[in-house]
Structure formats: structure tokens, C-alpha cells
């Protein structure tokens, strides 16, 4: 380390040690601002990650059309495979798939599963990752073989593997694949069973006759949901508008449905993010401005108290740059310490209270480095003018002052 810099740092240490109350006040004021800024960053990062998880749960570039239960007051029919075929025939560069869910027991046990009748396109549309084996294919649809794909959770829970034969309802199925079903983040945004399939889920070909049913339910051609995936992001609005227009034609209306898009799912998260950003951000900004103002005041008072010292240093050969550097370093050291204290305290509190906070939080490099950088920036910006004024003091003026 440069010898002059070593001496300057020693002077900074001595100055802080001889004025603990003044520098303690600066550290406290800056720490409060950095503390609130760190909390803001962890919350916004958590909400951003939560939004990404919601979108991944639905699928990127995906539109969901969810059927609702009919009542005596509603008109029209259910969502059907015919509606899906209509959409598929009229939407280019779009993959269409359907799901219909049933609750079934594995024979001879009380283990309840969600059995989903679907086709070979569901994994592609929802963009789920295959863990083992394969997903359903066109051969399964044509041959109507009793093949099944289970979720990774079911595989881990009951040690079911590819090649096993399991009983669902009163039928035997051969497991041909294990898939990771995303969608846990969707639980906080919607409770619709057409969208939330759960973790204990098994997928079977939709062409199978539902002999596992014990009572009459929806018409056999009815579905719980239709999902459409646009191959390009810019096509999503077109897919949504065209789908609405097709299903609003006379004779095609499926009755009450819900339209789900990535934007509609994260609308509430985005609103919450904006609200928190404005409120906590305003507190952080005001705290940092207050801290910077306190720093400027303390620096000015510190310089006035040390005019004689400054004059003596100049008289002994110190340059004006070195004088300015001394006070800039003092501010940088104090604000850096404030940044560390505020950031560390915020992280400790957020970790301890994480399970009680009603919003998601995320810790990463941004929640450490951004507050520290802001603290240093506030210190340098606040000390610049006082340091310049200290450097302009003339030795003769300092002697008279002393």
C-alpha cells in the first residue's frame, strides 16, 4: 500500500476515534436508509422470482381457457374437445391441448390421486421437464393402451418407477414416464382445478373410456381446460383475441369460462410490487437523503473544528489534494461501515422473520452489493463539497482562525 495512503488512513482512524459521537450519528443515519433499501431489494427480488415461477407454472406464451361449473342460471354448454378442435383448426403456429381431471383411489388403498385425461401435447404446451421415460404420444392415443405418466412427486412418495404396473380406480396402468409438474407458485394466484393439478397427479390418454368413474359426471366429451401455446411471444395477443372471437360465435359458446394468461396471473403480484416499491422506496429515499444531510452537516462542523490542523498540514507541505482526500476517505469509511451494518442487520432480520412475512423475499448479490454501492455513493456525494472547501483553506487564514 502507498505510504501516503497509509498515513491518510491512519489520520482517518484517529479522527473517527476522537469524535465517536459525531461519526456514530452519521453511521446511524446512513444505516437506517441502507437497512430499508436492503429490505426493499429483497422483497422486490422475491416478487420478481415469484412472478417468474407463476409464469413457468402456466407456461411461457400460454393461454388457458378454464371451464366453470354450470348452474341453472347459466346458458350454453361445457368446454369440449370440439371447442379445442375449432381452435386448433383456426390458429396457425399454435399448439392446443386439453385436460380433464378425476379424483381416483389406487385400488385397495386410501391413496387419492388426480387422474388427468389429456393428449401428447400437454407436456410441450405447459413446458414441463421429463424426469424419466417418456410422455404420452400419438400411439397411446390411437391404440388406447392403458399407459400412464406420473408426477415426480408421486414417484418419490410411493416409489413408483417406469415399468411398474399400478391400479388406478379398478384399472391397471403401465407407467411409461415420470414428469416434473411445475405450478406450485400458482396456488397463491388461483384455486381452479383446471389449472392447478396438484402434486399427486397421473396422466393418461384422453381417448381411454373412463371406466374408473363410479357415477355420472360431465359429458364424456367435456374438458376442464383448454391450453394454447403460441410458438412466438409476439403471437400471444393474436392467439388470445382469435380464441375469444371463435368461442363467442353463435352455437360455439361454451358457457362461463375463465381466460388465463401470464399477464393476468401476475397482475396482482405486479400491483403489490409497485405498491411496496413506492412505499418502502420512499422511506429508503427519505432516510438516505436525511443521512446525506446529516453527513454534510457533520463534515462541515468537523472541518470548522479542524481549521488549525488543516493549516498546519498545509504549512508542513501537504497538498490540497491530500486535504480533500482525507475528508473524502473519512466519509467513505463511515458510510461503508454504515452500509455493512444496515445491510447485515436487514439480512439477519429478514432471515429470522421470513416465514412470518406475507410476501416472498429473495437474497442474492443484488441485496448485498447495491446497498453497499449506494452507501459509498451517498458518502462521496455528500463529502465532495465540504472536502473541496477544506482544500481551499489557506494556511494564513487557518493560523488566524486558530
- Ranges of each domain in the chain: 3-54+268-401, 69-255
- Which whole-number Å values give the CA distances from 188 to 35, 53, 226, 257, in the listed order? 28, 11, 21, 20
Give 59 or 187, the one with higher predicted confidence. 59
9-36: pLDDT as tens digits: 666 666 666 666 777 787 888 888 899 9
Residue 228, Cα to own-chain centre: how many angstroms?
Answer: 24
> Are 307 and 359 within 8 A, CB to CB?
no
- Among 87-96, 165-174, 201-210, 300-309, the least confident range: 300-309
Q: Mean pLDDT score of the chain, rounded to an integer?
A: 82
> Are 388 and 321 within 8 A, CB to CB?
no
245-291: pLDDT as tens digits: 999 888 777 778 889 888 888 888 888 888 888 888 888 888 888 88
**pTM confidence score:** 0.75
Kindly state the average pLDDT of the residues 96-110: 82
CA angle, residues 71, 77, 83, in degrees to nearest 5: 145
Q: What pLDDT is recorded for position 137?
A: 93
User: Considering Cα of 349, then 354, then 359, then 365, what sign does the dihedral take?
Assistant: positive
Grid coordinates given for 276? 411496496
| DSSP state string for 70-92 | --TT--S---BHHHHHHHHHH-T
Q: What pLDDT is recorded for position 350?
A: 92
**Percentage of the chain lying above the pLDDT 70 cut:** 85
Name the DSSP class of 222: B
Give 191 or 323, the one with higher predicted confidence. 323
Phi, psi of 60 (to 5 degrees): -75, 135
Kindly state the average pLDDT of the residues 333-362: 89
Is the pLDDT score of 192 beyond 80?
Answer: no
Give 401 or 186, the one with higher predicted confidence. 186
222-238: pLDDT as tens digits: 788 999 999 888 889 99
pLDDT band with cut points at 50, 70 and 90 for residue 308: confident
Question: Distance between CA 390 and CA 299 in Å, rounded?
Answer: 10
Q: What pLDDT is recorded for position 71?
A: 41
Cα separation of the two ends of the chain: 34
C-alpha closest to that of 198 among 158, 141, 154:
154
> Are 388 and 326 within 8 A, CB to CB?
no
Is the pLDDT score of 122 beyond 60?
Answer: yes
Query: Which residues in 254-278 are b (16+ Cβ under 10 Å) and which e?
Result: bebbeebbbebbbeebeebbeebee
The residues with which 84 forms a beta bridge, in sequence order, are: none
Q: What pLDDT is recorded for position 399?
A: 61
Q: What pLDDT is recorded for position 212?
A: 75
Q: What pLDDT is recorded for position 7?
A: 56
Phi, psi of 152 (to 5 degrees): -60, -35
pLDDT band with cut points at 50, 70 and 90 for residue 6: low
| DSSP state string for 161-173 | -TT-EEEETTEEE
Give 101 or 310, the one with higher predicted confidence. 101
Q: What pLDDT is recorded for position 38?
A: 93
What are the counts of helices (DSSP H) followed by strands (DSSP E) for the chain?
Answer: 13, 10
Amino acid at each position: 500500500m502507498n505510504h501516503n495512503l497509509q498515513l491518510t488512513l491512519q489520520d482517518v482512524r484517529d479522527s473517527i476515534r476522537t469524535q465517536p459521537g459525531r461519526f456514530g450519528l452519521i453511521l446511524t443515519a446512513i444505516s437506517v436508509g441502507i437497512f430499508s433499501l436492503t429490505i426493499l431489494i429483497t422483497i422486490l427480488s422475491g416478487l420478481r422470482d415469484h412472478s417468474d415461477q407463476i409464469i413457468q407454472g402456466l407456461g411461457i406464451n400460454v393461454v388457458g381457457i378454464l371451464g366453470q361449473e354450470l348452474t341453472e342460471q347459466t346458458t350454453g354448454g361445457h368446454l369440449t374437445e370440439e371447442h379445442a378442435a375449432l381452435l386448433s383448426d383456426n390458429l396457425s403456429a399454435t399448439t392446443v391441448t386439453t385436460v380433464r381431471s378425476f379424483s381416483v383411489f389406487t385400488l385397495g388403498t386410501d391413496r387419492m390421486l388426480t387422474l388427468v385425461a389429456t393428449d401428447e401435447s400437454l407436456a410441450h404446451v405447459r413446458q414441463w421437464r421429463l424426469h424419466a421415460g417418456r410422455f404420452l404420444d400419438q400411439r397411446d392415443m390411437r391404440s388406447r393402451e392403458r399407459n400412464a405418466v406420473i408426477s415426480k412427486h408421486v414417484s418419490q412418495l410411493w416409489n413408483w418407477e417406469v415399468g411398474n404396473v399400478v391400479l388406478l380406480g379398478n384399472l391397471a396402468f403401465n407407467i411409461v414416464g415420470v414428469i416434473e409438474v411445475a405450478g406450485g407458485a400458482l396456488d397463491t394466484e388461483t384455486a381452479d382445478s383446471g389449472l392447478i393439478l396438484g402434486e399427486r397427479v397421473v396422466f393418461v390418454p384422453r381417448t381411454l373410456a373412463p371406466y374408473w368413474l363410479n357415477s355420472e359426471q360431465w359429458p364424456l366429451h367435456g374438458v376442464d381446460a383448454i391450453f394454447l401455446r403460441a410458438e412466438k411471444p409476439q403471437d400471444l395477443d393474436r392467439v388470445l383475441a382469435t380464441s375469444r372471437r371463435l368461442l363467442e360465435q353463435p352455437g360455439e359458446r361454451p358457457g362461463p369460462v375463465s381466460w388465463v394468461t401470464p399477464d393476468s396471473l401476475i397482475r396482482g403480484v405486479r400491483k403489490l410490487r409497485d405498491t411496496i416499491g413506492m412505499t418502502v422506496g420512499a422511506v429508503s429515499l427519505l432516510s438516505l437523503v436525511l443521512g446525506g444531510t446529516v453527513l454534510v452537516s457533520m463534515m462541515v462542523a468537523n472541518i470548522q473544528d479542524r481549521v488549525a490542523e488543516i493549516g498546519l498540514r498545509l504549512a508542513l507541505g501537504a497538498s490540497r489534494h491530500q486535504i480533500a482526500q482525507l475528508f473524502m476517505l473519512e466519509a467513505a469509511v463511515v458510510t461503508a461501515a454504515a452500509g455493512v451494518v444496515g445491510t447485515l442487520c436487514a439480512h439477519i432480520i429478514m432471515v429470522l422473520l421470513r416465514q412470518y412475512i406475507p410476501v416472498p423475499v429473495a437474497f442474492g448479490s443484488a441485496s448485498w452489493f447495491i446497498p453497499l454501492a449506494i452507501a459509498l455513493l451517498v458518502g462521496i456525494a455528500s463529502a465532495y463539497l465540504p472536502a473541496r472547501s477544506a482544500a481551499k483553506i489557506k494556511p494564513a487564514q487557518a493560523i488566524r482562525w486558530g
